[in-house]
Amino acid sequence: MQKTSAWPLALSCIGLIMYASLYPFSDWRDQNVAPWAFLVAPWPRYWTGFDVGANILGYVPAGFFLALTACRTGRGRNAVLGATLVCLLLSMCMETVQIYLPARVPSNLDFGLNVLGGWLGALSATWLERLGALARWGRIRARWFVAEARGALVLLALWPVALLFPLAVPLGLGQVIERTLSMLEAVFENTPFQQWLPVRGGDAQWLLPPVEFFCVALGLVIPCLLGFCIVRAWGRRAVLALGTASIGIAMTSLSAALTYGPQHAWEWVHPPVLAGLVSGLVLSLVLVKIPHRAGAALALLAMGMYLT
């Protein structure tokens, strides 16, 4: 049995599936319909190729990492079956709960495609394992990264996925203070605890050019610093920084295209954002020789500033 990042990645995939399946988590109601009625409902009349692809691809990573976890922990014999069953149960639960959400429509087609996606992901994991591709990845990982790199690798793998969520500021993950305060105000409204909350002096000024520049630059520097904490050689750190910048730009454009249409894929690029990207990349390249502990401390400091 060996340590692997596959299990936390599998849990992350399951969490993302639950979020995507049950969003927006509001207006729950009982329709007086059996939750499992979708299983025997007529085949959906209207569906698109995008719907089919999304339902399959959404479960491929979960099946892949679940099967990979089984292979890496000595349970590879039943990896495909076990991973597929987990995906089946997960999809069944999500489709069943969707009956209580007015914005979602449970579907037997979606259910079948989800299971197919999980099976394909599990099959690909076992296939790559037998070909030795995953063993080669293990050797590359040993050369590039320090021994205890699992947590950071999981965070770095989730970063591009998080960028798909439409953001007010490009790369602006972590701007959570205003949202947290709004949530707490709603929870503690008309209670003695309401006066404990800080008073906000007005609307958030996230989109002022200097603030936008600062957020974009930090949004690129932080994942680079996180990577520097686990990458051994400074030359490879430079490659990581360039790759991180490229992935960040690509995922931000993809998010804009999916949200607003392909013609708007690059409308997020304007002078403050471009200056922030360039500054963040230059600063990351300057810091490629920083020691691991100093990089971790600087990353924590940057994240503290980022969250505000």
Residue from 82, 84, 100 nearest 21 by CA: 100
H-state helical runs in the chain: 6-22, 49-57, 60-72, 79-98, 108-131, 133-144, 150-162, 177-187, 209-228, 234-260, 271-286, 292-307
Please state the pTM of the whole predicted model. 0.70
Cα-Cα-Cα-Cα dihedral of 72, 75, 81, 85, to 10°? -80
What's the confidence (pLDDT) of residue 1?
47
Residue 218, burial from CB neighbour count under 10 angstroms (0-12, 13-18, 19+): buried
Q: Which residues contact 55 (CB under 8 A, 6 or more apart)?
A: 109, 110, 113, 114, 117
pLDDT value at 179 more than 70: no
Phi-psi region of 236 (alpha: psi -120 to 50; beta: other; left: phi over 0): alpha
With cut-offs at 50, 70 and 90, classify the pLDDT of residue 177.
Answer: low
What tens digit of pLDDT does each residue of 132-144 get? Answer: 877 787 787 778 8
Higher-confidence position of 150 and 157: 157
Three-state DSSP class for residue 23: coil
Residue from 141, 10, 287 nearest 302 by CA: 287
pLDDT value at 66 more than 50: yes
pLDDT value at 208 more than 90: no
Q: What is the average per-residue pLDDT within 2-31? A: 81
With cut-offs at 50, 70 and 90, classify the pLDDT of residue 164.
Answer: confident
pLDDT mean across residues, the chain: 83
pLDDT value at 112 more than 80: yes
Structure tokens at 93: 């639960």
What tens digit of pLDDT does each residue of 242-261 get? Answer: 999 999 999 999 888 877 88
What's the confidence (pLDDT) of residue 175?
53
pLDDT value at 71 more than 90: no
Q: How far is CA 145 from the centre of its chain?
A: 22
pLDDT value at 308 more than 70: no
**What is the C-alpha to C-alpha distance for residues 143 and 113, in angstroms, rounded to an integer?**
38
Cα-Cα-Cα-Cα dihedral of 273, 167, 208, 280, to 10°? -30
Q: What is the average per-residue pLDDT within 212-232? A: 91
**What is the C-alpha to C-alpha distance for residues 287 and 217, in angstroms, rounded to an integer?**
14
* Strand-pair partners of 145: 231
What's the confidence (pLDDT) of residue 199?
60
Residue from 132, 133, 95 nearest 115 by CA: 95
